[in-house]
Amino acid sequence: MDTQETVISTQELTKRYGKKVALDGLSIELRRGRVYGLVGNNGSGKTTLLRILTGLSPRYEGKVEILGRGDRKGLRLSRKSMGALVDAPAYYDDLSVRDNLLMRSILLGKKDKKRVEELREQFGLTDRDVGTRAIHFCSLGQKQRFGIAATLLGEPHVLLLDEPINGLDPSGVAETRELLRKINEDSGVTMIISSHLLAELYKLATDFIFIDRGRLLEQISSEELDARIAERGMEDVEEYFIALVKASEGRV
């Protein structure tokens, strides 16, 4: 695995909703096999970035490249190698977890029952009450685990996860973190994970992308981040991020 290979890059990426600027000249570069923690306050542009990368928000200024392709056709083909959970899991209310996963598999052109059962086992979705009843009866945490499992059906090269541990209890958070770590280590899947739970993200991410008001504050490896936190006598990544925001606003 070439860990120096760039799998995603943006140059001067800008997205406007009327007069509001959601992304403001954002330039980032993501390497193969790394786990990127995407950190920002509400309204900072995290979900907008993920929606652009997945093709859910097609109109923007600047340039996006995925797996070396930046033209419209190339991006469409490259996105077939991505799995994404953005906003909230999508599912058919009246179908079971198993049937929802099978339907996703069919839509991917596979109908891979074996893969569906593997993912149900991995994500703790095999209990009769979870796996076979209509998904709208499932808890928020169960739906969230389903959403993550669904992103893996196509065995993607890149995973984009927006608040993937939202709604999980402490045990579920730890189990999901370790499962994502194992997927990354075993398959070399590049991940972008957006989360407000910075302490948990810190345990998993190899790199961090800090953004505020649509602008890049800093992209930094976890090793460099550790060194800077220690050097500045800070407590944790949350304190470091707050200091970055204050500095960008001239409040230091």
Cβ pair 47, 57 in contact under 8 A: no
CA angle 22, 184, 158 (to 5 degrees): 40
**End-to-end CA, the chain:** 42
- Amino acid residing at 50: L
Q: Which of 54, 44, 52, 40 is nearest to 24 (CA)?
A: 44
* Helix pair angle (140-151, 97-107), 10° resolution: 20
Dist. CA 38–CA 160, nearest whole Å: 10
| Spatial CB neighbours of 178, under 8 Å, sequence gap ≥ 6 | none
CA distances from 160 to 19, 39, 67, 164, 192 (A): 27, 13, 14, 9, 5
Q: Which of 185, 182, 179, 184 is nearest to 164 (CA)?
A: 179
Token digits for 90? Answer: 């999508």
Alpha helices in the chain (DSSP H): 46-54, 72-78, 97-107, 113-122, 128-131, 140-151, 170-187, 198-204, 222-231, 237-248
Give the start-to-end residue ranges of the domains of the chain: 6-248
Dist. CA 147–CA 140, nearest whole Å: 10
CATH of domain 6-248: 3.40.50.300
Cβ pair 157, 82 in contact under 8 A: yes
| Spatial CB neighbours of 200, under 8 Å, sequence gap ≥ 6 | 165, 173, 177
Dist. CA 173–CA 189, nearest whole Å: 20
Largest CA distance in the chain: 56
CA distances from 157 to 57, 81, 134 (A): 21, 6, 30
Dist. CA 39–CA 148, nearest whole Å: 19
pLDDT (tens, 9 = 90+) of the chain, 252 residues, equals 455 799 999 999 999 999 999 999 999 999 999 999 999 999 899 999 999 999 999 899 999 999 999 999 999 999 989 999 987 788 999 999 999 999 999 988 878 899 999 999 888 888 776 767 889 888 888 888 899 999 999 889 999 999 888 778 888 888 888 889 988 998 899 999 998 889 889 999 999 999 999 999 999 999 999 999 999 999 999 999 999 999 988 765
Dist. CA 158–CA 84, nearest whole Å: 8
